[in-house]
Amino acid sequence: MLTTVAPAKSLSMLLVDNDRQFRAGIRNFLNFSQIRDRTVKVIGEAHYPALALSLIKQDSPDLILVDIKLTEEDGLPFLEQLRDSNVSSRILVLSDCQEDYWIYYAMQLGANGYVFKSQGSQQLLDAIATVMQNQIYLPPEVATGFFRKFQKTQASLPSQLGQPCNLSNRENDVLYWLVQGASNNEIAKQLYISVATVKVHLTNIFLKLQVTSRTQAIVAAIKMNLIQC
């Protein structure tokens, strides 16, 4: 007896961007994409916050892909409105804004990820896949800048180094250089250890922080105030 497997539910998205041409390009690209065996369906577009909020209430998209600079001042308040509305949709910022200010406050206001418009299409798909797994997406170079901004605003807080995940001194050293954006080879040179040893420490760090990638480890370090620059 043959059994049929139901096709995976499509991934519904709302595009929020005031550039009509850009929206059209992204829509056409996404509608022909698959993310982890799920087809993508762009179910709506908005070029200003009020329309976006109306569409979100009406359609409950799985993901909101948003530019935080819809006008000179609309982007961040819009993210704040989404946060205060307790929307169930995941939120991924896709923007030209590369300044630490925008990245930091977008994440503080509830964005689940941040990716630049100048990055490749595969990175966008990777970002979408990551945030749809209830994880945070930040490219490593963005995560490092975000960390530095966070550290400046948290300078008055007491250090929680090694708590509650109990990293060893050497693991803290590896995590420090990871946050600086260093590669495994660069970490090995800085700490006078082998690349293989760096990988062992990273595995232990990932287990203790309950993360699965370098970017997630950096974000965990930010949230837990684990590193003092």
In the chain, where are the structural domains located?
10-149, 164-224
User: Mean pLDDT in runs of 10 for the chain (229 residues)?
Assistant: 59 94 94 89 92 93 91 72 85 87 79 90 92 86 66 47 69 88 87 92 90 78 68
Residues whose CB is less than 8 angstroms from the CB of residue 73 and which lie 6 or more positions away in sequence, other chains included: none
Per-residue pLDDT at 5: 47
pLDDT given for residue 75 in this prediction: 72
pLDDT at 153: 53
CATH architecture of 10-149: 3-Layer(aba) Sandwich (3.40)
Nearest residue to 27 via CA among 8, 50, 51, 47: 47
Please give the backbone phi and psi of residue 44, each rounded to the nearest 5 degrees, phi first. -175, 160
Compute the half-sphere exposure of residue 150: CA atoms within 13 Å on the CB side of its CA: 23
At 160 the pLDDT is: 40
**CATH architecture for residues 164-224:** Orthogonal Bundle (1.10)
pLDDT of residue 162: 39
Contact 89, 60 (CB under 8 A): yes
Model's pTM, two decimal places? 0.66
